[in-house]
Amino acid sequence: MMRTLQTLAALLGLVIAPTLAADPPKVEGDWEGFMKVSDTASLLMVFHIKKGDDGKLTATCDSPNQASKGVKVSGVTLEKNKLTMTVAANKGEFAATLSDEGSELKGEWNQGGKALPLTLTRPSTKPESLWEGDIKIQAGLKLKIVLRVRSDKDGKLTGRMDSPDQNATGFKVDTVTIDKTTLEFTVKTIAGEFSGKLNEAGTEAVGEWKQAGAAMPLTMKKTDKVSEARRTQMPKGPFPYQEIEVSYPNAASGNSLAGTLTLPKGDGPFPVVILITGSGAQDRDETLMGHKPFLVLADYLTRRGIGVLRVDDRGVGGSTGDHGKATSADFATDVQAGIEYVKTRKDVNAKKIGLMGHSEGGLIAPMVAAKNPDDVAFIVLLAGPGVPGNEILVAQSALIGKAMGGKDEEVAKQVAIAQKMYAEIRTGTDEAAVTKALQALGKEAIGALSPEDRKKTGDAGLKLMEAQIKMIQTPWFRYFLTYDPRPTLAKVKCPVLAVNGEKDLQVPPKQNLPEIEKAVKSGGNDKVTVREFRDLNHLFQTSKTGTPAEYAQIEETFNPDALMVIGDWIAGLK
């Protein structure tokens, strides 16, 4: 806006060039920065700020290292140069000062009573050099990593690392060196480092990736474009059905859930299946290792005339709430909220609402069905538990250990120690005493390794063990260890389909499917169908080993025969 010329100057006949009022710096756009959460760990935070036609600011937040994207940000305000934002999903708040030139937001991230420095800047537009390679791990398996290198304003090399197979990106590269003979970089957040010898052309570095005491072969090759894994089942539009973005509250917990409802074209009413994710903070597609199994399931079922509601877990994507403090029982109330929501829709047949849960979701579906017999018409358990969590984890440890090439004697020792740890958590009442006992068992686990493996592991192994001990004392883990699904399965009165893969090493079929069938029938419900699919793993992919490390390497997302069996069973219900 033009400023008004001073009257006195005009009277004196002075020629004064009119000046423009300095426009305030803009905050709209993309921002990113690393938040230091410990001496060795930094977390990449990315914010996307927009200004609407009404002048109001809105934003979303990504945490690439945690595979979290599109989390809603509320309370975005900019007063002069002071910006504040709130992320309700994890109860985090960011307060910062916008620099005069609008290129930096310097402030603090507050969460759980802790204030962590966080400075955001505009993403670099400088060209980057790309390197990629596959870490060769045990049993002939591999894990892809990508190195992105740029130079800052002073010419110093900076970098970031992605792990596409783990759906994690943006790890801070603390040091990176590229000269005529060597490519080296370190990633303190995950205690990883690479050192390789460059060829004469400077396009390939052959060396080793070291992490947690282990050294694994890795060859990094320079590329113009990062190669993408083939995912031939990934649905692509336009779709012959409706896609509806939805959100609804969970009155029991005060959080809200966001998801996608797909319905066949027409007025309906249509049967609807609510999908329930497995353990860990999952998005609505249950994105894992580059795969989106829930997106594939939703597409297949909706094309067959069955509506599907898939939802971001609390604290993920568009859903609010604190995922880290919740247990399976808490997640069951989120599913209940989904049922209440779809019942309000005229295009949904309220008499044909079903639940389909994968892994932990297969634990939750019976909880909800048993409490709501009039609202749940059927349940489908995809690799669902049939015994308490501690029994599953013991079997899982043994099976994965052997499949990864572990010696029988060493695997047996580690399993025995795991059993002792789970017993401490299940029976211990004094938290300090339990922690002390777990730490002693952790040292015993390190001592049980072969001398060679113990030397490789070193201090990194102890730190990893400490992190695992902390994790297994969370409310979720304690609940999972002690919860027996069989009494609840005995209360389920609706039709049940329980399916699993022969090569599932995480929820072994021989251990769980018979117990599910037995428990359901013990309550007088004979409407239970059990099916084990040959060569399928925990994700229902056709696999060779069944190990989790293999998931990303498999092109198939969800076996077509398994999809057909599930679809036929639902379609055949009266």
Q: How far is CA 150 from CA 123, 128, 160, 176, 401, in A?
A: 12, 5, 9, 10, 39
Q: Which residues pair with 121 in a beta bridge?
A: 32, 104
Please give the backbone phi and psi of residue 293, each rounded to the nearest 5 degrees, phi first.
Answer: -60, -35
CB 383 within 8 A of CB 299: no
Contact indicator for 148, 159 with CB cutoff of 8 Å? yes
CATH topology identical between 29-121 and 241-387+484-571: no
Q: Which three-class secondary structure state does DSSP give residue 138?
A: helix
Measured over the CA atoms of residue 528, residue 532, residue 537 and residue 542, the dihedral's sign is negative
Does 238 sit behind a cis peptide bond, omega within 30 degrees of 0 on the bond before it? yes
CB 503 within 8 Å of CB 529? no
Domain residue spans of the chain = 29-121, 129-223, 241-387+484-571, 390-480
Structure tokens given for 457: 């592991």
* Contact by Cβ (8 Å): 434, 428: yes
In angstroms, the CA 435 to CA 425 distance is 9
Q: Residue type at 268?
A: G
Enumerate residues 6+ apart whose C-beta is below 8 A from 130.
Answer: 146, 147, 148, 149, 222, 223, 224, 225, 226
Shortest CA distance to 96 belongs to which of 81, 111, 116?
81
Find the helix or strand (DSSP H, E) in which 381 lies: strand 378-382
- Measured torsion, CA atoms of residues 365, 369, 372, 378, in degrees rounded to the nearest 10: 110
Residue 333 is predicted with a pLDDT of 98
Q: Which residue is listed with tokens 């000062």?
A: 97
Q: Tell me what pLDDT residue 2 has.
A: 38
Among 2.40.128.120, 1.20.1260.10, 3.50.50.60, 3.90.1150.10, name the CATH number for the domain at 129-223.
2.40.128.120
Could you tell me which residues come within 8 angstroms of residue 193 by beta carbon, excluding any fewer than 6 positions away?
184, 185, 186, 187, 209, 210, 211
Question: Which residue type is seen at 468?
Answer: Q
Phi, psi (deg, nearest 5) at residue 225: -150, 135
Distance between CA 545 and CA 141 in Å, rounded? 10
Distance CA 365, CA 345 (A): 21
Q: Indicate the SS3 state at residue 49.
A: strand
Q: Identify the CATH number of the domain defined by range 29-121.
A: 2.40.128.120
Q: Are the CB atoms for 321 and 331 separated by under 8 Å? A: no
Query: Could you give the angle at the alpha carbon of 170 between the alpha carbons of 165 and 171, nearest 5°?
Result: 90
Exposed e or buried b per residue across 250-276, where buried means at least 16 C-beta atoms within 10 angstroms of its C-beta: beebebbbbbbbbbbeeebbbbbbbbb
Would you state the pLDDT for residue 460? 59
Q: How many of the other CB atoms lie within 10 Å of CB of 431?
A: 9
DSSP 19: -
For 534, counting Cβ atoms within 10 Å of its Cβ (0-12 exposed, 13-18 middle, 19+ buried), the class is exposed
CA angle 28/33/37 to nearest 5° reads 135
Q: What is the pLDDT of residue 15?
A: 35
- CB atoms under 10 Å from CB of 176, counted, come to 23
What values do phi and psi take at 17, rounded to 5?
-70, 125
**Peptide bond preceding 373 in cis form (omega within 30 of 0):** no
| 267 DSSP assignment | S
pLDDT, tens digit (0-9, with 9 covering 90-100), for 221-248: 999 988 887 898 999 989 999 999 999 9
- Compute the 3-state secondary structure of the chain and give helix, strand, coil in percent, each to the nearest 5: 30, 35, 35
- Spell out the per-residue pLDDT of the chain, length 574, in tens: 333 333 323 322 333 334 444 566 789 999 998 888 777 678 888 999 998 888 899 998 888 877 777 888 888 999 988 999 998 777 789 999 999 888 889 999 998 788 899 999 888 777 689 999 998 876 567 888 999 998 877 788 899 999 887 777 889 999 999 999 999 999 988 888 999 999 999 999 999 998 867 788 999 999 998 888 789 899 998 999 999 999 999 999 999 999 999 999 999 899 999 999 999 889 999 998 889 999 999 999 999 999 999 999 998 888 988 888 899 999 999 999 999 999 999 999 999 999 999 999 999 999 999 999 999 999 999 999 999 999 999 999 899 888 887 788 888 888 888 888 888 888 877 888 888 888 888 777 777 766 666 665 555 566 667 777 777 888 899 899 999 999 999 999 999 999 999 999 999 999 999 999 999 999 999 999 999 999 999 999 999 999 988 898 899 999 999 999 999 999 999 7
Cα dist. 347→240, 265, 295, 325, 397 in Å?
16, 10, 21, 35, 45
Q: Note the pLDDT tens digit of each residue in 21-54.
A: 456 678 999 999 888 877 767 888 899 999 888 8
Report the C-alpha dihedral over residues 550, 556, 559, 561, rounded to 10 degrees.
-140
Question: Which residues have a Cβ under 8 Å from the Cβ of 334 and sit 6 or more positions away?
Answer: 250, 253, 255, 257, 311, 313, 314, 321
Question: What are the CA-CA distances from residue 462 to residues 190, 200, 470 (Å)?
Answer: 14, 40, 12
- The full 3-state SS of 72-121, as one line of letters, equals EEEEEEEECCEEEEEECCCCEEEEEEECCCCCEEEEEEEECCEEEEEEEE
Q: What is the CATH number of domain 241-387+484-571?
A: 3.40.50.1820
- Residue 331, phi then psi, degrees to nearest 5: -65, -30
Rounded Cα distance between 254 and 23, Å, is 41
The predicted model scores a pTM of 0.81
